[in-house]
Amino acid sequence: MSNLAARDTWFARGGVLLVALGAATWGTDTVLRAPLYAALAPVLVVLGEHVILSFYSVPAIFRRWRELRRLGARDWAALGFVGWGGSAAATVLFTVGLFEAYRSGGSSVNTVFLLQQTQPLFAVLAAAIVLHEKPSARYVPIFITGVTGAYLLAFGEQGWHLLTPFTQVGQAHLKFALIGISAAFLWGTSTSLGRFVSYKLSFPTLTGARFLVALPFLLVWAIIAVPDLPGAFAHGIVQPDAARNLVLLALFPGLIGLLIYYRGLRETPASYATLAELAYPMTGVLLNWIVLGQPLVALQALGVVLVLVAITLMRTGKAAVRDEPQPAH
């Protein structure tokens, strides 16, 4: 099949829409996760999610273990990065960074958010190196539209002070800047490496493997970071709604979201997938407005429109990624 025919196939199947839909489910994360941090340390929340998800991961891997036998050394390295980096470290680092930044006040919160916005840049770079994707000139306006929309979603509430986050970077503690950029690197690179592995693993297997690989890493992290780990978890989980929220967090934005996401990722260039993931902050802002009553300002509404325009352009375009071969193994 020619490259053009292959591109037409994944556009017809709606892979980019599945990636966007999967990412959109992550928008429920804020509503479900925020109340948990009053009861559990961030690493315990992420660990608890993965323990619950192991009830899916273990049977999924057991039933499809033959798929894992097809993996070579580079595939295992990519899967390890996705599990340890994208599923575990990035989530914990970003959460810890935000909470500590909120407690410290000042410009640090904006800095964490701003530098995390560089995630698409890392994804596109990794896609070029690992997957040999070559975005064409038509990709550039789509990229600018999506990233501008994401920026407005994150900082639109600041109104005419929209550029303030840039001026505050120098005032922030170095550790918060490193946390934001590290999370962006881990999540962005995981998008491309996830697609790299998807050539050999079905989406149910890749989803289960991601969660299972991350679990021992998170357990060691929690043992080191949390004194009296069993007692701290037991005390937190009995708090009002904690157990319910943790289960919902694991099942909806976790399991269901990633199953849909990886189903679409196999048929979607990573350069596009990273922009389709902007459905995540878009739904997060909308749910904060609808459920939590946080006002939606005009610039944020414009951000929603721009993200939707970018996703629509990705769905209808046919030449924004050139010569995207399957990577050699």
pLDDT along the chain (329 residues), means of 10: 45 76 88 83 94 96 92 96 95 83 67 83 93 87 93 80 66 77 94 95 96 96 94 93 94 94 91 92 86 83 94 72 48
Tokens of 128: 């070029």
Question: CA-CA-CA-CA torsion for 277, 278, 282, 284, nearest 10 degrees?
Answer: 50
Strand partners, 135: 321
Q: H helices within the chain, ranges in order? A: 3-13, 15-25, 29-33, 42-63, 65-68, 73-80, 90-104, 108-116, 119-130, 139-155, 164-168, 174-198, 203-225, 229-237, 242-249, 257-265, 270-276, 279-290, 298-316
Number of domains, the chain = 1
For residue 297, is it within any domain? yes
CA distance 155 to 292: 18
For residue 327, is it within any domain? no
CA distance 324 to 2: 11
Q: Output the pLDDT for position 325.
A: 44
Q: Output the pLDDT for position 317.
A: 61
Q: Output the pLDDT for position 95.
A: 81
CA distance 20 to 273: 8
Q: Output the pLDDT for position 320.
A: 53
The pTM for the full model equals 0.87
For residue 328, is it within any domain? no
Range of the domain at 11: 3-322
For residue 329, is it within any domain? no
For residue 159, is it within any domain? yes
Q: Output the pLDDT for position 111.
A: 75
SS3 271: helix
